[in-house]
C-alpha cells in the first residue's frame, strides 16, 4: 500500500492549489468561496522515486455553523487517522488564528508526523513563519504555492518520513465512475459499497462538487470509485461557476474511467430526458457501463414494466446491463461489483482473427452486402486491433458501399456469438483506397 499524505487546514489557505501543484494537474476545484472542497479527494503523486497517495480535505472551521462543516470535519478526521504524514497548511499573510489553534489541537492528538507549512509567502518572508512555532508542531516551512517557491523542500520533508522507497505498483487500478443527475444517490451508493462514510451525503442538490476518488479492493484487485457531481441540463449551469467546473470534471471522469455506473432514480414513474442524455455521453465515450436503478425500495413495482421503458428509451445502447438496488437498505448492492467486473471483462475481450472471420463468413452467407449502381461490396476479412471498447476493422473493396444498416447487422451477428453485453462496439470499414 502506498503511503498516504493528508493536507489539512482551515478554509482558503490554498490546500487545493497545493494539491493540484503536487499532482501536476487540476484535480481539486479551486475557488475563493469557502467550503468548495467537502470530501476527501485522492490522487497519485511522486517525488524523488517515492510514490504516494495525496489527500485533499475540506477546510476545517470547527466553530462554523455551516450545514456541511460537521461532515467536512468527520471526513478530515478520517484522513488524519489513515495518513502516514499530515501537511498542516496555514496562511502566512493573516498569521496564527484561533481556527489554526483549534486544528493544531486536533493534530497534536494524532501520533502521525505533521509537516507545518506556511503558505502565501510570495516574497518568501521567512520571518513571517516565526509566530507559527507557537502552534507546537515543530519548525514551520515557508511556501508560496502561487509562485511555486518552497514546494520541493516541503516534498523532501514529507518523503523523509516514509520508511523506504515504495516501488510503483505494477497492477493497474480499475476506475469506476459513478454518474447521474443530482440526488439520485450516487454518494450513498459509494458509501454503501465501500462499507464506510467516504463521501458527504445530503438531500441538498450539488453536495458533491469534485470528482471524488475512493480507492478500495475487491476480489484481491485494486479499484477506485470516482463519485461525480450530478449533471443538470446545460441551460441550468453557468459555465464559469463552481458547478460548471464540476460538470467538466464529471465529463473528464467518464473519459478516464474503465467502467461507468449510470445511476437512475427508480422511485418515480418514469425517467427524465437528462437521464438518457447522461447515458448517451457514456455511450459516445465508448465506455462499458451498468445501469443502476437506485431507490427501488421506495417504488417496489414491476421491474418488467421498468425494463420495457429502458429498452425503448435506451434503444441507442441496447447492449446495456441493468440492476435494481437500494443504497438505503443495501438491497442487491452486493451484485453491483459483479456486474461492473463482468462488463469490463466483456469490453476487454480479445477475439481471434480466425473466429471473427468465421462469424463474418456466416453473416455474409445469410445476408449479402449491399450494392450500389450495379457495384456490390466485397468484404475481404475482419480483425480486432484493440479493446475497451472492442474495435473491429472490416476490409472491403469500397467502404462507401457499407451503409448503417449493414454495419448494425454485422454488430448484431458479433453479439450473437460473443458476449459483449454492457459494452459498446466500434466497427471501422476500410476500403482499398484507405491507408493504414
pLDDT for 58 equals 79
CA angle 427/433/434 to nearest 5° reads 40
What is the grid cell recorded at 185?
A: 444517490
351-391: pLDDT as tens digits: 999 999 999 999 999 999 988 877 888 999 999 999 999 99
Task: Give residue 364's pLDDT.
Answer: 94
Question: Would the CA dihedral through 382, 383, 386, 388 be positive or negative?
Answer: positive
Which one, of 373, 377, 427, lies nearest residue 402 by Cα?
377
Task: Give Cα 417 distance to the centre of its chain.
Answer: 32
pLDDT along the chain (436 residues), means of 10: 86 88 64 45 84 84 60 77 92 92 90 94 91 94 92 95 62 85 86 68 41 78 81 48 51 88 87 88 95 84 85 93 93 94 96 96 93 85 95 93 93 96 95 63
The strand order across the sheet containing 41-47 reads 41-47, 50-56, 4-8, 85-91, 114-119, 141-142
pLDDT of res. 226 = 84
The C-alpha atoms of residue 271 and residue 259 are separated, in whole angstroms, by 22
Q: Cα–Cα–Cα angle for 159, 162, 167, nearest 5°?
A: 90
pLDDT the model gives residue 11: 85
- Look at the block and give the residue holding cell 475540506: 58
Q: What is the pLDDT of residue 316?
A: 93
Domains and CATH numbers, the chain: 4-159 (3.40.50.300), 174-347 (3.40.50.300), 353-430 (3.30.300.20)
In this prediction, residue 204 carries a pLDDT of 38
Task: Please give, one letter per residue, the 3-state secondary structure of the chain.
Answer: CCCEEEEECCCCCCHHHHHHHHHCCCCCCCCCCCCCCCCCEEEEEEECCEEEEEEECCCCCCCCCCCCHHHHHHHHHHHHHHCCEEEEEEECCCCCCHHHHHHHHHHHCCCCCEEEEEECCCCCCHHHHHHHHHHCCCCCEECECCCCECHHHHHHHHHCCCCCCCCCCCCCCEEEEEECCCCCCHHHHHHHHHCCCCCCCCCCCCCCCCCEEEEEEECCEEEEEEECCCCCCHHHCCCCCHHHHHHHHHHHHHHHCCEEEEEEECCCCCCCHHHHHHHHHHHHCCCCEEEEEECHHHHCCCHHHHHHHHHHHCHHHCCCCEEECCCCCCCCHHHHHHHHHHHHHHHCCCCCHHHHHHHHHHHHHHCCCCEECCEECCEEEEEEEECCCCEEEEEECCHHHCCHHHHHHHHHHHHHHCCCCCCCCEEEEECCCCCC
Amino acid at each position: 500500500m502506498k503511503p498516504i499524505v493528508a493536507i489539512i487546514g482551515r478554509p482558503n489557505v490554498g490546500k487545493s492549489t497545493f494539491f493540484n501543484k503536487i499532482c501536476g494537474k487540476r484535480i481539486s476545484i479551486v475557488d475563493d468561496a469557502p467550503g468548495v472542497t467537502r470530501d476527501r479527494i485522492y490522487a497519485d503523486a511522486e517525488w524523488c522515486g517515492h510514490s504516494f497517495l495525496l489527500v485533499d480535505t475540506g477546510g476545517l472551521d470547527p466553530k462554523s455553523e455551516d450545514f456541511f462543516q460537521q461532515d467536512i470535519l468527520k471526513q478530515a478526521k478520517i484522513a488524519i487517522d489513515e495518513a502516514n504524514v499530515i501537511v498542516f497548511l496555514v496562511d502566512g499573510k493573516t498569521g496564527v488564528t484561533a481556527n489554526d489553534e483549534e486544528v493544531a489541537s486536533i493534530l497534536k492528538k494524532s501520533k502521525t508526523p505533521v509537516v507545518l507549512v506556511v503558505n502565501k509567502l510570495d516574497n518568501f518572508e521567512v520571518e513571517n513563519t516565526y509566530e507559527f512555532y507557537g502552534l507546537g508542531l515543530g519548525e514551520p516551512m515557508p511556501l508560496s504555492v502561487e509562485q511555486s517557491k518552497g514546494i520541493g523542500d516541503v516534498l523532501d520533508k514529507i518523503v523523509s518520513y516514509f520508511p523506504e522507497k515504495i516501488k510503483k505498483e505494477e497492477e493497474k487500478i480499475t476506475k469506476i465512475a459513478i454518474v447521474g443527475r443530482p440526488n439520485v444517490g450516487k454518494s450513498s451508493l459509494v458509501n454503501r459499497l465501500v462499507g464506510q462514510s467516504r463521501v458527504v451525503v445530503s438531500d441538498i442538490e450539488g453536495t458533491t462538487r469534485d470528482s471524488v476518488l475512493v480507492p478500495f479492493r475487491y476480489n484481491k484487485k485494486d479499484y477506485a470509485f470516482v463519485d461525480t457531481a450530478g449533471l443538470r441540463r446545460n441551460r441550468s449551469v453557468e459555465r464559469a461557476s463552481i458547478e460548471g467546473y464540476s460538470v467538466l470534471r464529471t465529463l473528464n471522469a467518464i473519459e478516464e474511467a474503465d467502467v461507468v455506473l449510470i445511476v437512475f432514480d427508480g422511485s418515480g414513474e418514469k425517467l427524465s430526458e437528462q437521464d438518457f442524455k447522461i447515458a448517451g455521453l457514456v455511450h459516445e465515450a465508448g465506455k462499458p457501463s451498468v445501469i443502476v436503478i437506485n431507490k427501488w425500495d421506495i417504488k417496489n413495482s414491476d421491474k418488467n414494466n421498468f425494463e420495457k421503458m429502458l429498452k425503448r428509451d435506451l434503444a441507442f445502447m441496447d447492449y446495456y446491463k441493468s440492476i435494481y438496488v437500494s443504497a438505503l437498505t443495501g438491497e442487491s448492492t452486493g451484485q453491483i461489483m459483479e456486474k461492473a467486473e463482468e462488463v469490463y471483462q466483456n469490453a476487454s475481450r480479445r477475439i481471434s482473427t480466425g473466429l471473427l472471420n468465421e462469424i463474418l463468413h456466416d453473416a455474409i452467407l445469410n445476408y449479402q452486402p449491399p450494392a450500389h449502381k450495379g457495384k456490390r461490396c466485397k468484404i475481404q476479412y475482419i480483425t480486432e486491433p484493440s479493446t475497451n471498447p472492442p474495435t473491429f476493422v472490416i476490409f472491403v473493396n469500397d467502404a462507401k458501399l457499407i451503409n448503417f444498416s449493414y454495419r448494425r447487422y454485422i454488430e448484431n451477428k458479433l453479439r450473437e456469438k460473443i458476449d459483449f453485453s454492457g459494452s459498446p462496439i466500434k466497427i471501422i470499414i476500410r476500403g482499398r483506397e484507405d491507408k493504414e
